[in-house]
Amino acid sequence: MSYRVDWLPNAEQELADVWLQAPNRDAVSSAAHELDLRLMKDPENEAESRPTGRRITFCKPLGIFFRVCPDQRLVQVSHVWRY
Protein backbone atom coordinates (compact mmCIF):
# COMPACT_ATOMS: atom_id res chain seq x y z
CA MET A 1 0.00 0.00 0.00
CA SER A 2 1.38 3.40 -0.87
CA TYR A 3 1.17 6.69 0.95
CA ARG A 4 -0.14 9.96 -0.43
CA VAL A 5 2.48 12.72 -0.37
CA ASP A 6 1.25 16.24 0.33
CA TRP A 7 3.66 19.13 -0.08
CA LEU A 8 2.32 21.83 2.24
CA PRO A 9 1.99 25.31 0.68
CA ASN A 10 5.11 26.61 2.42
CA ALA A 11 7.14 23.64 1.15
CA GLU A 12 5.78 24.10 -2.38
CA GLN A 13 6.89 27.75 -2.30
CA GLU A 14 10.32 26.80 -0.97
CA LEU A 15 10.69 24.19 -3.71
CA ALA A 16 9.71 26.75 -6.34
CA ASP A 17 12.27 29.22 -4.94
CA VAL A 18 15.01 26.57 -4.96
CA TRP A 19 14.09 25.60 -8.53
CA LEU A 20 14.14 29.22 -9.74
CA GLN A 21 17.59 29.83 -8.23
CA ALA A 22 19.13 26.48 -9.18
CA PRO A 23 21.98 26.29 -11.67
CA ASN A 24 20.58 22.89 -12.70
CA ARG A 25 16.77 22.95 -12.60
CA ASP A 26 16.54 19.41 -13.97
CA ALA A 27 18.43 18.13 -10.91
CA VAL A 28 15.93 19.84 -8.59
CA SER A 29 12.97 18.42 -10.51
CA SER A 30 14.49 14.93 -10.52
CA ALA A 31 15.23 15.08 -6.80
CA ALA A 32 11.68 16.19 -5.96
CA HIS A 33 10.31 13.33 -8.04
CA GLU A 34 12.65 10.81 -6.40
CA LEU A 35 11.62 12.06 -2.94
CA ASP A 36 7.95 11.64 -3.87
CA LEU A 37 8.60 8.03 -4.91
CA ARG A 38 10.57 7.20 -1.78
CA LEU A 39 7.98 8.78 0.51
CA MET A 40 5.10 7.01 -1.23
CA LYS A 41 6.81 3.64 -0.82
CA ASP A 42 8.11 3.52 2.76
CA PRO A 43 8.11 6.88 4.59
CA GLU A 44 8.38 5.43 8.09
CA ASN A 45 11.77 3.92 7.31
CA GLU A 46 13.01 6.87 5.24
CA ALA A 47 15.95 8.79 6.70
CA GLU A 48 16.24 9.97 10.30
CA SER A 49 13.71 10.92 12.93
CA ARG A 50 13.78 14.34 14.60
CA PRO A 51 11.98 15.80 17.63
CA THR A 52 8.22 16.34 17.54
CA GLY A 53 7.57 13.56 15.04
CA ARG A 54 9.42 15.08 12.11
CA ARG A 55 11.77 13.18 9.83
CA ILE A 56 14.57 14.45 7.61
CA THR A 57 15.89 13.09 4.33
CA PHE A 58 18.03 14.19 1.43
CA CYS A 59 18.16 13.66 -2.30
CA LYS A 60 20.84 15.85 -3.81
CA PRO A 61 20.39 18.79 -4.16
CA LEU A 62 17.34 18.85 -1.83
CA GLY A 63 16.77 18.33 1.86
CA ILE A 64 13.28 18.03 3.34
CA PHE A 65 11.49 17.76 6.65
CA PHE A 66 8.30 15.69 6.68
CA ARG A 67 5.79 13.96 8.96
CA VAL A 68 4.18 10.57 8.50
CA CYS A 69 0.50 10.06 9.39
CA PRO A 70 0.23 6.25 9.20
CA ASP A 71 -3.48 6.08 10.03
CA GLN A 72 -4.24 8.29 7.03
CA ARG A 73 -1.49 6.80 4.82
CA LEU A 74 -0.28 10.38 4.40
CA VAL A 75 3.10 12.10 4.28
CA GLN A 76 3.27 15.87 4.73
CA VAL A 77 6.38 17.64 3.46
CA SER A 78 6.77 20.79 5.54
CA HIS A 79 10.14 22.31 4.64
CA VAL A 80 12.49 22.13 1.62
CA TRP A 81 15.96 23.56 1.12
CA ARG A 82 18.94 23.27 -1.19
CA TYR A 83 22.07 21.81 0.35
For 17-75, the pLDDT digits (tens) are 999 999 999 999 999 999 999 999 999 888 899 988 899 999 999 999 999 999 999 99
pTM of the model as a whole: 0.93
Let me know: does 15 contact 7? Beta carbons within 8 Å.
yes
3-state secondary structure (DSSP) of residue 44: helix
Residue ranges of domains in the chain: 4-82
> In CATH terms, is domain 4-82 a member of 3.40.190.10?
no
Angle among Cα 4, 83, 70 to the nearest 5 degrees reads 20
